[in-house]
Amino acid sequence: MRAIVVTAAVLAGVGLSGCGMTKMSTREQLVATPATCVAQRFDVYFADSEAGLTPAARQAIGATAELLKGCKINRVQVLGLADARGGQAANLNLSERRAQAVAAALTEAGWPAPVFDVSAAGDSGATTDAGVREPLRRRTEVLVEAVNPT
């Protein structure tokens, strides 16, 4: 650790300003606490052919709800997805149920229901070889527009 500090001090003393570098900022200027009341995106994953929330899904929803506690939630987009297995109608139904489950959990967490835009893509855009499963498609994407309360 000491070698790193000494090396940094030596480099600072050498005068790197001739290389086009500007004066170093203070630590307080460089390290800032990230704003929490900003747009957030998170995914909620589901078990194969299921629309029920897993413990991990409930944890992701709870963590995001806690993070944005005190923020004004302007809009929440919830998009349900499904893999390419099964028929088109069944996948659309499954992704709708997934999106509704996430929206209901967010509402239970205290988010305002009128700001929800719930939709489903089913298996649209999902491609697979015969027998290949796509766990990354078994999810709901959540986009949250949050701002500081006024």
Confidence label for 23 from pLDDT (cuts 50, 70 and 90): low
- What HEC string does 12-74 produce? HHHCHHHHCCCCCCCHHHHCCCCCCCCCEEEEEECCCCCCCCCHHHHHHHHHHHHHCCCCEEE
CATH code for the domain defined by 33-147: 3.30.1330.60
Confidence label for 117 from pLDDT (cuts 50, 70 and 90): very high
Confidence label for 150 from pLDDT (cuts 50, 70 and 90): confident
pTM, full prediction: 0.71
> In this predicted structure, which of 22-31, 41-50, 134-143 has the lowest mean pLDDT?
22-31
Task: Find tokens 């992701």 and name the residue.
Answer: 60
Closest by CA position to 48, among listed 142, 134, 128 = 134
Q: Give the whole-angstrom CA distance, residue 126 versus residue 131.
A: 14
Beta bridge partners, 142, equal 42, 78
**Domain ranges across the chain:** 33-147
